[in-house]
A = this chain, B = another copy of it.
Amino acid sequence: MSTRNTRVLAPVVPSWGRLRPLGIDQVRIDGGFWGERQRLNASAIIPHALRWEERVGWIDNFAHVRAGDIAGHHGGRQFADSDVYKLIEAMAWEVGRTGDVALDEQIERLGRLLAAAQCDDGYLNTQFGNPGQAPRYSDFAWGHELYCFGHLIQAGVARLRTGRGGSVAEVALRAADHVCREFADGARPDVCGHPEIEVALAELSRVTGEPRYLDQANRFLARRGHGLLPDGEFGRGYFLDDVPFVDSPVLHGHAVRALYLCAGAVDIAVERGDAQLLDAARGQYDAALAARTYLTGGMGAHHQDEAFGADFELPPDRAYCETCAGVASVMVAWRLLLATGQPRYADVIERTLFNLVAACPSAGGDGFFYTNTLHRRTPAAASAPDEVAPRADALLRAPWFEVSCCPTNVARTFASLATFIATGSDAGIQVHQYAPATIVTPKARLRMQTAYPDDGLVRISVDEAPGPFALDLRIPQWAGGATVDGQSVPVGTLRTRVQAGDVVELVFPMIPRVIVPDDRIDAVRGAVAVERGPLVLCLESVDLPEGVEVNDVAVAAPPGARMDGDTVTMPGLIRRTCPTAWPYGVGPAGRATQPCDLVMRPYHAWGNRGPATMRVWLPVG
């Protein structure tokens, strides 16, 4: 089934696909886990990011461009502009969600700043092309100019979709037209070192109905993979410029770059009806899920180049798992879900949102993880609340980074989160994520009530409906099945027929599950993890006796987990290994063991109780 979509208040609105997205005006999250994140986003994260972008000069950069004195006054790195754009996008969805007038005025203020800095021909960048700076387009590998345009355009799309247009949309459209002229066939033949323009132009084409934006997105995609970018320190694979997209069997290279490009490829494939391209994107993503993805949904095993490793190279202690790669993975999975209707992509979205994206911000919304390790061997210091963190992973959550892509990426995701809950089709409504929510479509008005993920009971009431319709419910892979209205149902999509007044009750099994890794993942051989519902749990040293670190304990064999009131515990052992001069050659050194209960808590909440060691995978025996 393919369905042409009309205007929807959502970041991704394909012209065709198995499922139609619902707008953030059609789905409202009514509290619960994600409602709390949306509240935190509005009250803390967005104001925090705005304050920091003012403080570190990234917003002032635009005023300096306007004033002609940016050289010598530029704050931040080559991609600083993009973080202003991502923040505007987050604010735009927030305004779309709540109608916040003051926030809308903030956006307009920023938009006027951008407009004043934009060149007559649509070019806009605070790092290149202004007096005293390197010329425009003089460094495609690292300059990030088209990447910045991509985020500007996504901010513009958010304003257009939420019916506000205004200066941000105008600036974005002028920039997009500039890009189409400048990088047309026969003009500049280049691609950007960091994909992002592709996904942005494709969406702009959807919102404006202008095919030339889609054509330009496709042009960039087709050009890449032929060695236009330099073979530098990390190789061309880092830029995804080593092989054409359709020829790569699996996601590789820099994780965020690879995932943004893949998201753009899905959009281009859907809009052009290019089944081969869609298969290529889906195949790459599926292959990455099968062998290059952490239990948390995190992607990217290398610190050195922020890149995917080889198949099954998934070290928990050196997991990079950049927050932005998690956001980007959700972007790809969402597009594939809309295109194919396959519930496994909703499974991935759930896993990644709960266990990676939600882990990024601190409980107070004023600190952020850039990397999301699965094993912290030594306690990290708490970051100073008013210092920019120079490195991605030396500290617990930090208020801001020199490269601060992650906070605003989380902010725009949280602000538009409602779009992931449900979709529509000619047949009915599909519920993908479980949360307290109200869903209003022409087919029905639904109310979902649940304390998920703390509890497995979900009650969906059909409050209004002009007639009977199909209500599709995702039964997640992790659950192994569920009970719906008292009947056992298998993993996958459960179709029920409902009408006004009906109530559907789902019950998911919420007993903790011991998870065993594929034995090809060398780095966690002989270890187990624990999940409960959609949540990955972890052990944090603050829950261990004084002086015991997470590396001093093991899970008692055979591994088991149980609920102890509200808490998950595993029978474990504290091991005291005798010091040895050389750690090879013999079996386990003589060691004392002492039984202890290991308290396992949600991974997303770790690091909120001071410096600690932490691990997700625990050795057995």
Contact with B along A278-296 (1 / 0, CB 8 A): 0000000010011101010
Q: Please choose the segment from A48-56, A140-148, A460-468, A513-521 that sits at the chain B interface, where 4 or more of its residues have CB less than 8 A away.
A: A513-521
Contact call A516/B586, Cβ cutoff below 8 A: yes
Contact call A391/B235, Cβ cutoff below 8 A: yes
Contact with B along A217-258 (1 / 0, CB 8 A): 000000000000001111100000000000000000000000
Contact with B along A460-503 (1 / 0, CB 8 A): 00000000000000000110000000000000000000000000
Tell me which residues across on chain B come within 8 A of A318, comparing CB atoms.
302, 309, 313, 315, 318
A580 and B518 contact, Cβ closer than 8 Å, known pairs A234-B391, A377-B310, A394-B235: yes
Contact call B585/A516, Cβ cutoff below 8 A: yes
Contact call A577/B518, Cβ cutoff below 8 A: yes
Give A293 to B589 CA distance when docked, in angstroms: 17
A590 sits at the interface (CB 8 A)? no
A581 and B290 contact, Cβ closer than 8 Å, known pairs A231-B390, A310-B378, A526-B525: yes
A588 sits at the interface (CB 8 A)? yes
Q: Whose C-beta in chain B lies nearest to the C-beta of A513?
A: B585
* CB contact list, A358-407 vs B, under 8 A: 375, 377-378, 390-391, 394
Of the residues B477, B521, B619, contact of A583 by C-beta under 8 Å: B521
* CB contact list, A547-597 vs B, under 8 A: 551, 577, 579-589
Tell me which residues across on chain B come within 8 A of A303, comparing CB atoms.
302-304
* CB contact list, A511-545 vs B, under 8 A: 513, 515-527, 529
Q: Which range holds the interface residue count of chain A?
A: 35 or more
A477 and B619 contact, Cβ closer than 8 Å, known pairs A235-B391, A303-B304, A577-B520: no
Give A265 to B583 CA distance when docked, in angstroms: 25
Quick one: copies of this chain in the complex? Answer: 2
Q: Whose C-beta in chain B lies nearest to the C-beta of A344?
A: B581
Of the residues B286, B311, B582, contact of A289 by C-beta under 8 Å: B582
Contact call A515/B585, Cβ cutoff below 8 A: yes
A317 sits at the interface (CB 8 A)? yes
Q: Whose C-beta in chain B lies nearest to the C-beta of A582?
A: B289
Q: Whose C-beta in chain B lies nearest to the C-beta of A588?
A: B519
Give A235 to B391 CA distance when docked, in angstroms: 8
Give A558 Cβ to nearest chain B Cβ, in Å: 11
Contact call A233/B391, Cβ cutoff below 8 A: yes
Secondary structure of the A side of the interface?
loop
Contact call A290/B517, Cβ cutoff below 8 A: no
Tell me which residues across on chain B come within 8 A of A344, comparing CB atoms.
581
A137 sits at the interface (CB 8 A)? no
A183 sits at the interface (CB 8 A)? no
Contact call A619/B518, Cβ cutoff below 8 A: no
A16 sits at the interface (CB 8 A)? no
A312 sits at the interface (CB 8 A)? yes
Tell me which residues across on chain B come within 8 A of A516, comparing CB atoms.
584-588
Tell me which residues across on chain B come within 8 A of A233, comparing CB atoms.
390-391
Give A307 Cβ to nearest chain B Cβ, in Å: 11
Of the residues B290, B525, B579, contact of A579 by C-beta under 8 Å: B290
Q: Mind listing 20 A-B residue pairs with CB under 8 Å? A: A231-B390, A234-B391, A235-B394, A289-B581, A289-B582, A291-B583, A293-B583, A309-B377, A311-B377, A315-B523, A318-B318, A344-B581, A515-B584, A516-B585, A516-B586, A517-B583, A519-B577, A522-B619, A525-B525, A526-B526
Seen from chain A, the residues whose Cβ lies within 8 Å of a Cβ on chain B are 231-235, 286, 289-291, 293, 295, 302-304, 309-313, 315-318, 344, 375, 377-378, 390-391, 394, 477-478, 513, 515-527, 529, 551, 577, 579-589, 617, 619
